[in-house]
Structures are given as structure tokens and as C-alpha cells.
Chain A
Amino acid sequence: MANLVEIRGLRVEARTDSGRRVEIIRGVDLDVAPGEILALIGESGSGKTTIALTLMGYARPGCRIVGGSVHVDGHDMAALPEAARAALRGTTVAYIPQSAAAAFNPARTVMDQVTEVARIHDLMPPEEARARAVALFRALALPEPETIGARYPHQVSGGQLQRLSAAMALIGRPKLVIFDEPTTALDVTTQIEVLRAFKSVMKDSGAAGVYVSHDLAVVAQVADRITVLKGGAVQEVGATAQILSAPAHPYTRALLDAFEPAGGPRAAPAPSGRPLLAVTDLVAGYGPIGRDGRPAVTALKAVSLTVERGDNLGIIGESGCGKSTLARVIAGIIAPVSGSIAFDGAPLAPGLRARSRDALRRLQIVFQLADTALNPAQSVGDILGRPLTFYHGRRGREREAGVDALLDMVRLPRALRHRLPEELSGGQKQRVNLARALAAEPELVICDEITSALDTVVAAAIIALLGDLQRELGLSYIFISHDLSMVRSICDRIAVMYAGEKIEELAPAAFGQAGTHAYSRLLHASMPKLDPGWLDGLAQQAEPPAWPAPAPAVP
């Protein structure tokens, strides 16, 4: 057999909560040559992780391989008995999980878990396994390779854990490594380090790889070939360069288009004398307030910014930089320790309770996760109707008409009003989440990472919707995100935050130019590009810019 992996006619069935059987993988054929890296790309629910897991002869609880063959190195993983599959896991096929933070056992040391594969399969004596692990730590550019193994998972950062999970996968010298969205949960600057480490160890080991991702730009850096999936079926297969430059399938083109979200041209904001929102020297944090008047953990250190009416302000920074705290302080959920907030010229009370209903109405916030922000026990009609009653006193037929208008506004069918949030897709939920804020008829909407949990294509549609709504309703947005390309497509000004401070405010076009702050340039350079040579090009630019590691996330 010439190919390392040959999947033929693979079908996987899932059982839904109601007991119905649904075919989630519908006759997939795949090949991977020895040493080749194949990317599986598609949105959530496209079956990419399910296919990758069948390479280990594994289907998640509730799923079952019902047809076809999965040949890996001559063994049909779909047909082998469980004990034989277990013998191949970790030795022939290894797995790098999406969230290493969850996949490492919190009760055991890193070294214990990295070398466990060698113990399970009796591959080598313990000293040799430890020596090999340390060599892998070094190859993965981990700090203190000799001693990092003695730590527990919670004592290691997310990016480091992700690299440690690569060491855990490679210790058994597998012929095939499965990468299950291994950088999705990381910040862009961390993602570069992890990708670079992956690429170099994969080159050294000569193993083949299957790289599961929804991010075309990331995949462009590591994969030789790309398979595009949708609805459990292969849409298009081709060499990386060919898929990127000449996509044949409409879905692939949609994925590529979504990569550079285009904000529509907006009417120039009407000049007005005073800013819509002015924040001055805001200090906020968590924990008890000390004798010096500062909280135990300071998340914001004297942040000032203004938003003009009709303007959009982007706030960008890595996890733990304080951007979400800033959103909460402006919205009144957290009272600041010091500093002032003025809305439309009038001072805004620090806490939510002290604000008038009208002040609340004019300033709305949309949270990142619609899943947790929408009450699962209320129908969409209720969720949207309550603010209509609360802010505008609308009841009965008037309220029903308002709900219909809101659903129209966010381009959802009116029939959805009787559904519960769990019966909606991720994108639909986020639209309901947005419509709830619009129900108040606000002037300023704070969008806190509202697209980060969505697939690229869905997120691009939400961004386009925000642009349309702005033209129709004359809104202003504060758009908080760690995704620079998203922020750039919709904002007039972008504030860069780092470790609780606003270090710079730039026009979108100024990003990456000389004369800007080193950290802004680093963020700009870390944004993955579709160009397959981007990562290697970066690697040649000496070392990454000298900049301290981001402060740990606020607990």
C-alpha cells in the first residue's frame, strides 16, 4: 500500500438526544502519503474532528462507525478489536488535542503524562523516555526543558501546554500525528510560536500529519494538501497553493472570502460638538481594595478613550489584557475604583444600580457567548420582548410587532420567535443576542468578542450585519476582539491594550507601519496570512520581537 492512510467510503452515525440516528459522515474517501501533512478544513459540524478520530479507531460517545474502512499503516482501524486499536494508539497514530489545558490530567505531573505512552506500550526504559521527552521539549523550544516536566499542568501556560501535548504525541515515534485544532484557543502571538514548533518537530520526525482546523491561514502554513469538508462530505481536495489561489468549489470560495471581511462603506459620521462616550483615567480590578486605594488585582490602569457619535472604536489585545473588564466597567457591571465615564456629555454613574433606566437603554452590551447570555428556558420571543416592555413599556400586540421588527432587523425568520435558544444554530443565537441589545434602541453597543466563538463564514455575516445596522440605525460600536482583521474591517479607530493599559490608538490603516508601538507591530505581524510562505518568512526574520510575555489572565 503506497499511502499511509486510506479511508474508503467512511460513514459515521450519531444518535441524537431523541434517539434518532443521523449520518454525520457520509461516505468520505481520503489518502495521506507517508510524511505528508493533510489539512481537514470546514466549519463546526462539518465532521472534520470525527473523521480525524476514526483514524485512531475511536468515535466519541454516541457516535459509531457504520461503514467503510480506515486503513492506517495497513491496519483497518474500523474493523480491529479494541485491544488491537489500543496497541496502535500512541505508537502508530498519535493525537494532539484542541485544548491541552483540558487534556492534561490536573492531578499528575507533565513528565508523568508525556512519558506515559512509553510505559503503556513498554516502548523504552523510563530513563530513556525521560531523556527523549527532554529532547522533545528542547526541540519544541520550551523554556527550562530539563525541569518543566516536574510541573503540574496548572503551572504551565496554555501555549506551553499545547507544545507539551506535541511532545506527548511524538514520544512514541508515531507514523501519523493528528492535530485537532491545536491553536484555536491561543492568542495570535502564542499561535506563531506553537505553529513554528510543530512545523519544525514534524519536519525532524518525518511523520505524516492530519491537521484539523477552521482557519485557512493557519492551515496554509503547515499543510501540503487541503481537504475541504461540509456536512460530512468532501467538497474539494487539492494542493495548498491550488486551493488558496484557484478554489473550485463555491464553499471554498466562501471560506476564502470570509477571511478578509469587508465592512461596507459607511456614511461619514455627522460631526458633533461632544463625543458620545468619554472615558477618563479608568482604574478597575478585582478583589479587596488595599490601603493604597487599589484593588488586589488591577485589571485596568488609567485607561482613557473617546467614541464619537456614529464612529466605531475597536479594542484589541490578548487574553488577560483587560479589554473585557473595560467593557464591563463602561456597561456598569463592574464599578471602577477611580476615573469617570461621560455619555453624551453627561456623567454616567459608576454602578449599574445608580444609572437611570434611560442611561441603561442608550448603552447596551452584547456578550461573547450567546449560549450563556440567553436564558435557555425562555423562547426567542420572550427574550426579545422583555427589553421592549422594560424600556419602552410595550405590551400585547405592540410588543409582538416589536419582536417581529427585531427579527427582521437581524435577518432572522419571524417563525423563530417560538423557538428556545438551544434549538438555534450558533450564528442564529448570536443574532438573537444582538437583537436583544437593539430592542433597547441604544446609541452605543459594546460588542465583547461576539464573533470569536463562530465559524469564519458565519462571523463574516455577523460583521456585515453590524455594518448594515449601523447605516440603518445610526449606531456606534465598541468592538472588542483579539482578531485584528475583524476589528480592522469595521472600526474607525483601534485602541491597543496590553496588561491593563491602552498603549496606543491607531487608524486601521496605520497598523504595521513604522513609528507605531512595538507591540502593535507584533500583533500585526502575528496575524496569519493566507500566503503559505508567511510563517517561514517570519522565521527568517531573526527572533520574534523582544516583548515580555503577556501577563497571566485575571482569575
Chain B
Amino acid sequence: MKSQIPSLVLGRILVALLTLLVVSFTIFCATELLPGDVAEVLLGQAATPEAVAGLRRAMHLDEPALLRFLRWLGGLLTGDLGTSYANHLPVAQLIGGRLVNTLKLAAVTALISVPVALATGIAAAVLRGSLFDRIVTALAIGVVSVPEFMVATSAVLLFAVYLKWLPALSFTSEVQSVWQLLRVFIMPVITLSFVISAQMIRMTRAAVIEALSKPYAEMALLKGASRLRIVLRHALPNAVGPIVNAVALSLSYLLGGVIIVETIFNYPGIAKLMVDAVSTRDLPLIQTCAMVFCLGYLALITTADILAILANPRLR
């Protein structure tokens, strides 16, 4: 039988690229809709109409939107992300360090929350109906229902204001030791982990319970397999698809959640940069930040889909 995997994977990647194109167009249109004229904002209220017109021409703002979109897209493809309107630095330079900071935060959060969430979800499925399962399920639902700014503000109130254990804001520049690194990361990471773990726990639990109710799980039991073996060798391989998807969806939520968390903790990441860029109407910076988020989201979802395809033996 001819394997369908290469064509399926290729198809999935093409769809992702097409989505990216549509997304870039949407982002461009959305930033176009932002109120106010960039040239006027940049020059201030004292600017003469001639000066504004001159600046508009110099920034190609007088050209049709489609042409500007193509120019911008071409720049993206050749690695030219444009120049910030606000401080005339290349966008790439502005984003570089910030992106690393955000990725660091996301990576630490993922490293902590994914294993914990998967283990908790699987344990809850195996001990279905027990006290442990009920507590986990209730907590997960509770956490899902609480918005992350609530968790973040509560954490600041408790640990920074009331207990005074941790700094309320994150200053990465002061990091000298592992302990300081931990102090900087701990609150943002806890906040983000809380929100994304709950969804992963629920989905993992459901996927494993579904697989455990299948006749092949009963067959394994009747072959004398232990509970652990039934879960690890029989149920999990069939639950990989849904679990990977839940993980990807949760991690992609990091990208959105990070905006609020970085703002609240004043963490110098790309999301904070984007929020600042909106207030200065720095269009190239906003557009690029948005593209980075979308790229991250698409990369996660596409990876999950490809993993699910690879995990399905019927396609092998």
C-alpha cells in the first residue's frame, strides 16, 4: 500500500502557507483601519499641511493600499521588516531581543506545564471517579473560568504586595544568578501555566478515557496486562492525536495570554513591545509583531496536525 503521508503532510504545509498569506492581508487591513494619520501623529500638532504631505510622500503613504501591501509583503519575504516610525530603528533590531525574552518565558512555561498537565490528565483518567479525579476536574473547570489577568493580579497582590516574597515587576537586566532568574520568571510562569494547563488536563483526561473504553483495552486486560501497561501501551498511542492537538491549542493560547501577562508584570517581551507600539501608532512594528504571533500560532497548529497524521497507523 502506498503511503499517503508525504502528500498529506505537504498539503497541510501548503494550507498553512496560504493561511499565512490571508492573515498577513488581514493584519495589513486591520492596521490601516487604526484611526489617525501617521504623518500627523509623527509631526505633532504644529505641523504645516505641506510638511505633512511631504512626509506622507516620503513614507509612500499616498500610494494605493494594495501597492503598499505588496511592498510590505515583499519586504517581509526578503527579511526587510521595515523601520520603526517612532524611533527610526530597524524593526528587526527592536524585535530581536524582545522575541528571545518572550520565547524564554513561553519555553519555561511549556516545559513546566505540559508534563505536569499530561501526567495529571492521564492520572485523572486512570483513577476515574476517585476523589483525586473529582478534585482535578473541579479545579480545572475553575481555572478555565478565571481570566488570566485575574490570576496575574491576584498573584501580584498575594506574593508581592502582601507576602513581599517576589518583585511585582520583572527586570531581566538585573538577573545575576539562578535564584534571581527564578524570581523574575516565577509569577508570569505560574500565571500562564495555570491557564493553559487546565485545558490540557481536561482534553488529555477525555482522550484517555475514550481510549480506555474501547474493546482493545478490555482485550489487554484479559491478556493479563497491568493497569499501567494498558494505559501506556494501549490507550495512549490512540490518544496521541487529540492530546497533541490540545497541547498545541493550549500553547498557542500562550501567545495571546502573554500580552496580558507581560503587560501586568512589565516583562520586556514582544507582546509588551506590541502594546507600546499601538500607543505610538508605530505601524511597521505592530504589523511585524502581529505576524510573529500568527506565525507562532500556525507553526504550532500545523505541527500538531502533522504529528496526528504521523501517529495514525491507517495512513502509514
Q: Does B68 sit within 8 A of A, measured CB to CB? A: no
Contact among A102, A117, A154 with B223 in the assembled complex (CB-CB below 8 Å)? A117
Contact A106–B238 (Cβ < 8 Å): yes
Interface string of A85-105 (1 = CB under 8 A from B): 011111100110101001111
* Bound Cα distance from A321 to B75, whole angstroms: 60
How many contacts between A and B, using CB within 8 angstroms? 74
Contact A102–B216 (Cβ < 8 Å): yes
Q: Report the minimum CB–CB distance from A510 to chain B (whole Å).
A: 41
Contact B223–A120 (Cβ < 8 Å): yes
Q: Closest chain B residue to A153 by CB distance? A: B313
| CB neighbours of A104 from chain B (8 A) | 216, 219
- Of B133-141, B156-164, B224-232, B269-277, the one contacting chain A is B224-232
- B:271-312 near A, CB below 8 Å: 311
| CB neighbours of A95 from chain B (8 A) | 219, 222-223
Name the residue in B216, B218, B223, B237 with the highest tally of chain A Cβ atoms < 10 Å from its Cβ.
B223
Contact A103–B216 (Cβ < 8 Å): yes
Contact A107–B222 (Cβ < 8 Å): no
Contact among B219, B313, B316 with A97 in the assembled complex (CB-CB below 8 Å)? B219
Q: Does A348 sit within 8 A of B, measured CB to CB? A: no
Contact A99–B223 (Cβ < 8 Å): no
* Bound Cα distance from A102 to B215, whole angstroms: 6
Interface string of A161-193 (1 = CB under 8 A from B): 000000010000000000000000000000000
| CB neighbours of B71 from chain A (8 A) | none
Contact among A56, A99, A102, A152 with B222 in the assembled complex (CB-CB below 8 Å)? A56
| CB neighbours of A108 from chain B (8 A) | 233-234, 237, 313
Q: Report the minimum CB–CB distance from B226 to chain A (whole Å).
A: 7
Contact among A86, A106, A117 with B226 in the assembled complex (CB-CB below 8 Å)? A86
- A:398-418 near B, CB below 8 Å: none
Contact B237–A90 (Cβ < 8 Å): no
* Bound Cα distance from A58 to B224, whole angstroms: 11
Q: Does A155 sit within 8 A of B, measured CB to CB? A: yes
Q: Closest chain A residue to B226 by CB distance? A: A86
* Bound Cα distance from A90 to B219, whole angstroms: 10
Say which size band chain A's interface belongs to.
20 to 34
Contact among B222, B229, B240 with A89 in the assembled complex (CB-CB below 8 Å)? B222
* Bound Cα distance from A154 to B314, whole angstroms: 7
Interface string of A66-99 (1 = CB under 8 A from B): 0000000000000000000011111100110101
Contact B224–A88 (Cβ < 8 Å): yes
Q: Closest chain B residue to A116 by CB distance? A: B223
Q: Closest chain A residue to B213 by CB distance? A: A61
Contact A87–B314 (Cβ < 8 Å): no
Q: Does B67 sit within 8 A of A, measured CB to CB? A: no
Can you give 22 A-B contacts (C-beta < 8 A)? A53-B222, A58-B222, A60-B218, A86-B225, A90-B222, A91-B224, A94-B223, A95-B219, A102-B216, A104-B219, A105-B234, A105-B238, A106-B238, A106-B313, A107-B238, A107-B311, A108-B313, A116-B225, A120-B225, A121-B224, A152-B313, A152-B314
Chain B residues at the A interface, C-beta cutoff of 8 Å: 1, 214-216, 218-226, 229, 233-234, 237-238, 240, 311, 313-314, 316
Other A-B pairs beyond A86-B224, A103-B218, 15, CB < 8 Å: A53-B222, A89-B222, A89-B224, A90-B223, A94-B222, A95-B223, A102-B215, A103-B215, A105-B220, A106-B238, A107-B240, A107-B313, A108-B233, A108-B237, A152-B313
* Interface pairs A-B: 6 shortest CB-CB: A89-B224, A107-B237, A102-B215, A90-B224, A103-B219, A105-B216
